[in-house]
Amino acid sequence: MDRVSWRTQVLSNHLHRPSASAPLTANACVGFSPPELSERFEFDTKEMRKLLDLHNLEDRDWLFGLMRQSKLFNPREAGGRVFVSPDYNQSMEQQREMTMKRIEYLLDRGVFKGWLTEKGVEAELRKFALLEVTGIYDHSLSVKLGVHFFLWGGAILFFGTKRHHDKWLRDTENYAIKCCFAMSELGHGSNVRGIETVTTYDSKTGEFVINTPCESAQKYWIGGAANHATHTIVFSQLSISGNNQGVHAFIAQIRDGNGNICPNIRIADCGHKIGLNGVDNGRLWFDNVRIPRENLLNSVADVSPEGKYLSAIKDPDQRFAAFLAPLTSGRVTIAASAIYTSKISLAIAIRYSLTRRAFSVTPNGPEVLLLDYPSHQQRLLPLLAKTYAMTFAANYLKMIYVERTPESSKTIHVVSSAFKATLTWHNMRTLQECREACGGQGLKTENRIGNLKGEYDVQSTFEGDNNVLMQQVSKALLAEFIGAQKRSKPFKALGLEHMNTPCPVIPSQLTSSTLQSIQFQMDAFCLRERDLLNRFAMEVSQRQKQGESKEYSFLLSYQLAEDLGRAFSDRTILQTFINVEATVPAGSLKSVLATLRTMYALICLEEDAAFLRYGYLSADNIAAVRKEVSRLCRELRPHALALVSSFGIPDAFLSPIAFNWIESNSWSSVQQH
């Protein structure tokens, strides 16, 4: 019987009264059965977690334990388990105070020891790991820490010199001062070069004078400024003897030790937000605020006591780039935290889909698990494969950042811009799909996913608007292309070495075996990237020949720029996956990684219209890809529980519907509360 006929029969049975010979019988009540009883684990999830978390697993687990131990982290019982997550029903003011109390609790237990005063790769990786764990609990907590340690602390480290390090770093690490980072303004966000705050130098007193000349120059969205911060880094135009020397960074005190606002400083609250209400975002005005000359962060440029501007970097563009280069750490941490949030939502949604049933496919047959529906597999399993791929990409980004050299700064800037945009966009899409996949339960605050959407939406625009960042990626690729042509030398940066080899040829007929091969996958991704880069360069050049400026030509070619940015990001992510896979010996772990890698590659082929638009793949090719994706969903289905268990996120940091959702919603649970 085909499905249409069967559904017609089912509806007919509903509409007609049953005969006396066919009495109604009650269905058995829906029960809960832990998925671990029926789902098999064919690979070592502990080994998989080592690949995913990469570093500091013991430190991560230690911090998870610290948070589970304290009532400050809002433990609550549901379904016989204890869960920890913020209470989003609290007022904005209460959430902010709880964030500070949690920071104080972690400070007292040595969590932040060495975050600014210890140097080296191991110290940086430990800091990254612990920050990631705080974000798994609460985005407000990790953002508040990120502003204090990575933005303010990073500015002191990288923009400052020994005098600043000696004076400020230990006090920052110990929270003797509470700090924020005043870059964004009401009138300028991504365009840092255009900020309007002005600082002049008074040689008579040896002081800088910071001023907010107009309302659009007010500092805006400054995390920590509204309630808690005592000090801030102020980004401002520096005017010396009437000459604008560009954007520089200064230290200014905005509150005293008792929390009183300092003279000539005005502070207002940014108000309630769709998320991150545990962060006290504020607005700042400076009314000719005087600070010592020594408060200029002077690693790039300085001003002598007499008022002479001094810098070893004479070119203003290079000087501006030197000021912004150290801010890359913000994009690194955002990319990593976005992927951990995707892991939370997928772990919850997949665990729920392995225990929740709906409808039967045979008359009077048992209802079917959600994840046994091909459509449900198609919703979640490609996102799971992408999350694995982007986890390896985020790890690669962290490693090139902590092992950075002056020569690698361009690569770090481009890759961090691409990954920050790609990974945060992926996170928001994943959160929405997982919310819907959980049905009505996904709306409940206690089940986390709905709230995470509001909490993480901001990642698409802070620390650089995603669309602007992707344009920067395309600009950098264009510059490499033009440079290679002018020098008549091979490409040797940003992974573009593949352009030195003959153009890949895609087979006209794509078999399942071909689609699974690394060679085909890289060929398809490289073909797209090289062709888009050629098209982009040609279009920009043609517009310039028609009289347009280089900048305006670039802006008019935004469609190709967007396609190129995506192509670069996808290809780089795939390469990181291949590199990780190559480190794993033959066996079940390597086998499932290969399936995930193929799913990642093919879903990218299916979702990006560029492959059809520019003729890299034929309509028949895309049909073959689509068919293979469906087959891969069936292949990954038996591994779903093992794959989300490998994330290493403790049960307490998930939600009730990830476990016994019947018991957690029972009448006895109502009586207990």
Inform me whether the pLDDT recorded for 673 exceeds 70.
no
Highest mean pLDDT, choosing among 304-318, 544-558, 641-655: 641-655
Residue 10: per-residue pLDDT: 45
Across 313-327, 420-434, 463-477, least confident range: 313-327
Residue 190: per-residue pLDDT: 84
Q: Which residue has the tokens 């019988």?
A: 25
C-beta of residue 393 within 8 angstroms of C-beta of residue 426: no
Average pLDDT of span 205-224: 98
Q: Which residue has the tokens 């959600």?
A: 370
C-beta of residue 641 within 8 angstroms of C-beta of residue 354: yes
pLDDT tens-digit series, residues 522-540: 999 999 999 999 999 999 9
pLDDT tens-digit series, residues 580-590: 999 999 999 99
Residue 49: per-residue pLDDT: 98
Share of the chain above pLDDT 70, in %: 95
Amino acid at 124: E
Residue 364 pLDDT level (bands cut at 50, 70, 90): confident
Residue 11: per-residue pLDDT: 47
Structure tokens at 507: 């087979």
Inform me whether the pLDDT recorded for 3 exceeds 60.
no
**What is the Cα–Cα distance from 467 to 470, expressed in whole angstroms?**
5
Does residue 587 sit in helix, strand or coil?
coil
C-beta of residue 312 within 8 angstroms of C-beta of residue 299: no
Distances, alpha carbon 60 to alpha carbons 38, 57, 392, 644, 647, in Å: 30, 5, 18, 17, 12
Share of the chain above pLDDT 90, in %: 88
Distances, alpha carbon 590 to alpha carbons 51, 181, 596, 644, 648, in Å: 11, 44, 10, 16, 19
Average pLDDT of span 457-472: 93
Buried b (16+ CB within 10 A) or exposed e, 195-221: bbbbbbbeeeeebbbbbbeeeebbbbb
pLDDT tens-digit series, residues 644-667: 999 999 999 999 999 999 999 999
pLDDT tens-digit series, residues 559-578: 999 999 999 999 999 999 99
Residue 27: per-residue pLDDT: 61
**Catalytic: which of 463, 480, 529, 628?**
463
Q: Tell me which residue of 369, 444, 435, 354 sits closest to 78, measured CA to CA.
A: 444
Inform me whether the pLDDT recorded for 1 exceeds 90.
no
**255 burial class (0-12, 13-18, 19+ CB within 10 angstroms)?**
buried
Structure tokens at 607: 């979702």
**What is the Cα–Cα distance from 221 to 210, expressed in whole angstroms?**
19
Residue 310 pLDDT level (bands cut at 50, 70, 90): very high
Instruction: Kindly write down the DSSP assignment for every residue of 199-255, as one continuous string.
Output: EEEETTTTEEEEE--SGGGSEEEEETTTTT-SEEEEEEEEEETTEEEEEEEEEEE-B
Inform me whether the pLDDT recorded for 380 exceeds 60.
yes
Inform me whether the pLDDT recorded for 514 exceeds 80.
yes
Q: Given the DSSP bridges, would you call strands 207-211 and 75-78 parallel, antiparallel or unpaired?
A: unpaired
Inform me whether the pLDDT recorded for 309 exceeds 60.
yes
Residue 24 pLDDT level (bands cut at 50, 70, 90): very low
Q: At what angle do helices 121-137 and 57-69 cross, to 10 degrees?
A: 40
Residue 21 pLDDT level (bands cut at 50, 70, 90): very low
**What is the Cα–Cα distance from 428 to 118, expressed in whole angstroms?**
35
* 463 assigned to active site: yes
Residue 308's φ and ψ, nearest 5 degrees, are: -90, 135
Inform me whether the pLDDT recorded for 298 exceeds 50.
yes
pLDDT tens-digit series, residues 42-96: 999 999 999 999 999 999 999 999 999 999 999 999 999 999 999 999 999 999 9
Q: Given the DSSP bridges, would you call strands 265-269 and 179-182 parallel, antiparallel or unpaired?
A: unpaired
Is 224 marked as binding a ligand? no
Give the CA angle between residues 268, 270, 271 to the nearest 5°: 110
Which is more confident, 84 or 12? 84
C-beta of residue 284 within 8 angstroms of C-beta of residue 255: no
- Mean pLDDT, the chain, integer: 94
Residue 586: per-residue pLDDT: 98
pLDDT tens-digit series, residues 399-457: 999 999 988 989 999 999 999 999 999 999 999 999 999 999 999 999 999 999 999 99
Q: Which residue has the tokens 């501006």?
A: 320
**What is the Cα–Cα distance from 197 to 218, expressed in whole angstroms?**
8
Residue 2's φ and ψ, nearest 5 degrees, are: -75, 165
